[in-house]
Structure 1
Amino acid sequence: MRLNLITRFRALFKRKLAPKKVIFIGIDYLCFSLSKSLLDNNKHTEQQIEIAAFIDDEPWNNRTKVNGATVYSPSEITALVIKRDVDLIIRIQGESIKIADNIWENIIKTDANIITLQQDQDIATMQKIIYQAC
């Protein structure tokens, strides 16, 4: 009984980790599915993920919402990384979004990590890689 009470007490006062903020480059089905699974997994993991934004170069997608996050154009990514204090940028190999070299150079100057996932990886493997990068 006493041990159970102590365990509950610790759980109440346990410091929660700040969510890791991520940006997804792309809004295709794989990005959507992966982002949704990360959000769903927040209920079951200590390290939470917050999706700060999605990046897409199609003008008709600009300022729309995907899984609660706004879609921005590639030219806005550096400002988003700085303004939102983004921890991780996730891109999937084969995504056709074009981001200029000078924008990548500016992103590399920030503290954000960049990971590239493979299209043939399953969602669970992708999640594992993301949590390791966080």
Structure 2
Amino acid sequence: MFQPTQLLRNIFGHRTTSKKVIFIGIDYLCFSLSKSLLDNNRHAKHPIEITAFIDDEPWNNRTQVHGATVFSPSEISALVRKHGVTLIIQIQGESISIADNIWEDIVKTKVKIITLDAHQDIATMQNSVYQACIK
């Protein structure tokens, strides 16, 4: 039996699956960049799905930012494995404290990690994220 979703895919073409990302931090730049990426998803060749935000302030734990949950740094490697995250995004100057053993575990997952320059504009940061998703 032919399903309506198949018909729509055939008419409009198959779309690339979204790239799952985690943001380290929830400061203004992370908030602005993530909002920009989500706003651009309709036109993006590689749409972004924000799996989580990471913050070490206990009062932010389990809150929502752009529909994604904020988790503590100790949960990041489990999130990468559980959700098949392809990219971790951090912005220089973000003061999130992540222990060395957690970084070592993250590196073992072979997830891509990019650090963006805080002095770049949002469009440049966005392009860097898309480039990292392609590679």
Give TM-score, length-normalised by structure 1. Answer: 0.90
- 1:52 lines up with 2:47 in the alignment: no
- What is residue 93 of structure 1 aligned with on the other side? 92
* Whole-angstrom CA distance in 1 between matches of 2:78 and 2:29: 25
SS in 2 for 1:132: helix
- What is residue 6 of structure 1 aligned with on the other side? none
Offset at residue 11 of structure 1 (A)? 6.9
Give 5+ residue unaligned stretches, structure 1: 1-8
- 1:19 lines up with 2:18 in the alignment: yes
Summarize deviations over 1:45-99 as a string: whole Å, max 9, x none: 1210000000000000000000110000000000000001000000001100000
Give TM-score, length-normalised by structure 2. Answer: 0.90
**Number of equivalent positions:** 126
SS in 2 for 1:89: strand
The one-letter code of the counterpart of 2:56 is D
- What is residue 3 of structure 1 aligned with on the other side? none
- What is residue 121 of structure 1 aligned with on the other side? 120
Give 5+ residue unaligned stretches, structure 2: 1-7
Higher CA-based Rg: 1
The one-letter code of the counterpart of 1:95 is E
The one-letter code of the counterpart of 2:68 is A
Q: Percent identical across equivalent pairs?
A: 71
